[in-house]
Structure 1
Amino acid sequence: MTHHVTRFKVLSAGIFSLILVLGVARFAYTPLLPLMQQQAGLGVAEAGWLAAINYAGYLSGALIASRISSLVLKDRLYRIGMVLAIVSTLVMGLSTNLMVWAISRYVAGLTSAAGMLLGTGLIMNWLIRHNHRSELGIHFAGIGLGIAGCAGAVMLFTPWLDWREQWFAFTALGCLLLVPALRWLPPPDTSGLTTTGQKLQDRPPSALYLRVFMAAYFCAGFGYVVSVTFIVAIVNQLPGLAGWGNLVFLAIGIGAAPACINWDLIARRIGDLNALILAALLQIVGILLPVMVPGLWAAMLGALLFGGTFIGMVSLVLSMTGRYYPGMPAKMMGKMTLSYGVAQIIGPAITGQIGAQLGSYNAGLYVAAAIMALGAGLLLLLKLVERRDARGLERVLVR
């Protein structure tokens, strides 16, 4: 098999795995949420808790990923995660018991970590070994395709299928995605060298840099999760926009699909941290547009902006961790994702409670925008820390 065919298959395996664990197992819940509230009796606060439990599963997976060093074990857990993604989707349609749903959402969260962290780590490792580091943005396109795909599928299915049949349709779709996700990812190479014989050397940042970076990423996680979990319900409640929520969610996915490649190019021009600051500021605009400017166009533009930035921030951060730790990218990815993941548990739970009190989730978006603004401030602080660390390194080299 030629090298180009192998590279195409490895990148495709990554894209299909992300569509499976994020589009099917995790994010199908968002466009199906209004339907489950109408047809299956799911309450407002309970919907928030189910989302929070999903992120708790993701957080547990991130914790596991941050502790594992063995590439062989990562590969095995990734493959188990892909199968569990399908099982957790099937279970959603088999019951109306809140406890069963909660277990399903927790397992779905675990599988998203398997795809997003272990799978991405394995693919990043393969790309770095074969000197294709710059192509990670292509892999992350799977996140946007997953979100757009599940929103499009729900819009297509809703006239014909009830909430339960839609979960079964997503299960069937997952089975199709499973085959390339498992078959096209080669077993991991455990040698510490690239194919040209260079040694994979880790260059970790300072402890202060890492702490500020994790705090900024926590803010990004909060800003992301509130919009992505409740946007369908929020838009459906806005004056004159009832029934348009799924279209807006589709716009998030469309904005997200090319975002990683776009932000990769922007980062090469202006630097990683500058690109992250720009993405954070644009994301604040995307979060606030639907609730501050009336009408469908504002909601759609906000969704495109939001989709095009949140995914860019994730891919920029994970690509940076790959540069710091080329040999073991998933370990630092796991730590970064823990901070992102904690925010993803707190965000939906707080927004669900605010929603139950005020009868609307809108206030959650204002809170999310404020926390994103704090995150942008922390990224500016990170630039100062980076300069300080560079000066310290210079002094060490001069000595």
Structure 2
Amino acid sequence: MMTAFKNRIFPTITNEAAIACIGLYCMAVVMGYGRFLFTATLPDIMVQLSLSTTIAGWLASINYIGYFIGALIAMFVPQRATWQVMTLWVMVSIVTTMLLVVPSMSLNLWYIIRLLAGIASGIAMILSSSFVIQNLSPERRSVLSAVHYAGIGVGISASAILTWWLLILGYHFDVIWLVAGLTSLPLLWLLYTIKPRQSQHTESQHIRAKQHISVHQAYLNFKHSLYEAVAGHHKALALLSVSYVLAGFGYISSATFLPVMAAQRLTTQTYAGLMIWLVVGIFAMLSNPLWGALAKRIGEIKTLMGLTVLQAFGMCLPIWFDGAIGLYGNAAILGLTFVGMVSMTLTLFKNINPAYSNLLIALATLAYALGQFLGPLVTVALAGQDDNFNAGLLVAAIGLIIGLILLILFHRQSPTSA
């Protein structure tokens, strides 16, 4: 009787479209809220807590350090434990989101919370992608995986709308983060409905396997897998990895401070920063199917090259046009390009050695996280006392062009994979 009641409360969902939609919700929570809600609320945070641009940059970068650590941890998660570890870190992501409602926290506590949020984002993003894609049939994988990744754009849009709505009602960042956390809670129930159902015999086998594998042996297994994954592909992986570092560096330099730039420049428009951030989210939602269709026609590497050029152009718009045109243009191009660049690059990493695709995706995420960590710090350092972000945007554009050159060399080095 208890089993029947439990099955009614937690039904098992096996429909592929439903799983992809749950994956979308997961990405919206751990990426849209866990990472990008900080961007939407940053102008209010800086005003309410009297934070300097330098501290704001460090709070952003500490989150990306966490993302780097999370990607590193995800590399060691065995396939059979994907759902359990993913669900645990989704819980951490929601808790760290709601913790920012606590009043009068010290700056050190902020750093710790944003670090944990970054770790949760890194782990949950990689493992949820792995889990969702594994549960999709090959013929529906390309369409439904695009639904899953659209969660990033949905989360960015939700963060902008939520912040806008609550600021109009007279609330501030603390209530915004609390509401974001509360609206994330249904995800935990949905994740339970897609929990892999295993027999007791299978579970006992896994327990015995865990008992017999030592930490040292696990390290040796990982080392062997890493060697096998990169063997014969060192140059191609190096070129693609460095270009991905520069891609992370390039986009985050704008993504972190875009609403702050809007508050500086568009002083007559009260919520210009949130409008601009909403533009990023809407274009990010719409972009992935578009670039997926283009990649089928011309290939991932050519699509990625085009996106890199377009993003570099977008970085220059606020430099060339000081008003709304430059900022809204940058926002639209940022939304159009960054999710597509992630999707295309991860596909290229998988193509290099498909047998070790999960490991290579984790390595790629480490590279991207490194670029994201450096971006805000360099941008803040170049902004100076006047908080002028133009120099940071120019450096980001230059970095993207260098990344384009590396992509061209990668294509010549490894035309089959590309």
Question: Which category describes the TM-score, using the shorter chain as reference length?
Answer: 0.7 to 0.9
- For 1:158 and 1:102, how far apart are their aligned partners in 2? 24
**In the TM superposition, what whole-angstrom CA distance separates every residue of 1:108-162 from its partner, at most 9, and x where no partner exists?**
11111122211111222222x5543313222110011111110111111102212
Aligned to 1:296: 324
The CA deviation string for residues 285-327 of structure 1, in whole angstroms up to 9 with x for no partner, is 2222123223323322321111110110001122334445556
**Secondary structure, in 3 states, of the residue corresponding to 2:51?**
coil
Give 3-state SS (helix, strand or coil) of 2:322's partner. coil
| 2:238 counterpart residue number | 211
Distance 2:190 2:168 in 1: 30
Q: 1:113 to 1:307 in 2, by over 3 A?
A: same
1:374 aligns with 2:402: yes
Residues 187 and 287 of structure 1: CA distance in aligned 2, closer, same or farther (over 3 Å): farther
Q: Which deviates more from structure 2 when the two are superposed, residues 79-88 or residues 281-290?
A: 281-290
What is the CA-CA distance between 1:224 and the residue it aligns to?
1.2
Q: Which amino acid aligns with 1:217?
A: Y
In the other structure, the counterpart of 1:110 is 119
Residue pairs, 1:1-12, within 5 angstroms:
6-12=15-21
CA contact (8 A) 2:348 2:417 kept: no
1:354 CA drift (Å): 2.3
TM-score (norm. length: structure 2): 0.83
- 8 Å CA contact retained: 2:317, 2:330: yes
2:83, 2:195 within 8 Å by CA — same for their partners in 1?
Answer: no
Equivalent residues of 1:241, 1:295 under 8 A apart:
no
1:64 aligns with 2:73: yes
Separation of aligned partners in 1, 2:352 and 2:126: 16
1:28 Cα deviation from its structure 2 partner: 0.8
Query: Which AA in structure 1 matches 2:177?
Result: W
Aligned mate of 1:167, from 177, 188, 195: 177
Whether contact under 8 Å (1:16, 1:180) holds in the other structure is: no
Given the alignment, which residue of 136, 141, 144 partners 1:133? 141
2:87 is matched with which residue? 79
1:362 counterpart residue number: 390
**Offset, 1:330:** 2.7
Q: Which amino acid aligns with 1:281?
A: V
Summarize deviations over 1:342-398 as a string: whole Å, max 9, x none: 1111111121222344422232111111101111111111111014989xxxxxxxx
Relative distance call for 1:99 and 1:35 in structure 2 (3 A) is same
Q: Structure 2 regions of 5+ residues with no counterpart?
A: 1-11, 203-227
Pairwise CA distance, 1:209: 0.8
Q: Deviations over 1:248-294 (max 9, x none)?
A: 11101111002111111111011110000001011112222123223
Instruction: Decide which moves more: 237-246 or 33-42.
Output: 237-246
Distance (whole Å) between structure 1 residues aligned to residue 86 and residue 283 of structure 2: 27
Counterpart in 2 of 1:224?
251
Give the corresponding residue for 2:364.
Answer: 336
Instruction: For residue 210 of structure 1, report the CA deviation from its aligned partner.
Output: 0.9
Structure 2 Cα separation of the partners of residues 275 and 188 of structure 1: 41
Partner of 2:102: 94
Residue 258 of structure 1 is aligned with which of 282, 286, 296?
286
**Does the aligned pair in 1 maintain the 2:318–2:390 contact within 8 Å?**
no
3-state secondary structure, aligned to 1:257: helix
* In 2: Cα distance, 1:342 partner to 1:21 partner: 19
Moved more, 297-306 or 380-389: 380-389
Higher alpha-carbon deviation: 370-379 or 172-181: 172-181
Q: Tell me: CA distance 1:266–1:185, structure 2 relative to 1, closer, same or farther (3 Å).
A: farther
Identity %: 30
Kept in 2: contact 1:12–1:181 (CA 8 A): no
Q: Structure 1 counterpart of 2:97, which letter? A: T
Q: Take 1:122 and 1:108, find their aligned partners in 2: how far apart are those partners?
A: 20
Asked if the contact 1:53–1:102 (Cα under 8 Å) also holds between the matched residues in 2, the reply is: yes
Count of aligned positions = 375
| Structure-2 separation of matches of 1:134 and 1:188 | 27
Matched, 1:178 2:191: no
Give the stretch that moved more between structures: 178-187 or 109-118: 178-187
| Alpha-carbon distance, 1:242 to partner | 5.3
The Cα of 1:4 is off from its aligned counterpart by 10
Task: Give the letter aligned to residue 349 of structure 1.
Answer: L
Q: Which amino acid aligns with 2:241?
A: M
**Counterparts of 1:384 and 1:256 in 2: how far apart (Å)?**
30
CA RMSD in angstroms, aligned pairs only: 2.5
Of residues 28, 34, 47 in structure 2, which corresponds to 1:38? 47
| Higher Cα radius of gyration | 2
Map 1:263-274 to 2 at 5 A: 263-274=291-302
CA distance in 1: counterparts of 2:351 and 2:125, whole angstroms: 17
8 Å Cα contact 1:13/1:185 also seen in 2:
no
Separation in 2, partners of 1:188, 1:238: 57
2:13/2:194 contact within 8 Å kept:
no
Q: Out of 131, 155, 158, which is 1:149 matched to? A: 158
Counterpart-to-counterpart distance in 1, 2:239 and 2:379? 25
How has the CA–CA distance of structure 1 residues 271 and 53 changed in structure 2, closer, same or farther, with 3 Å as cutoff? same
Contact 1:214/1:336 (8 A) holds in 2: yes
Give the corresponding residue for 1:193. Answer: none
Looking at structure 2, the residues matched to 388 and 8 of structure 1 have their Cα atoms a distance apart, in angstroms, of: 32
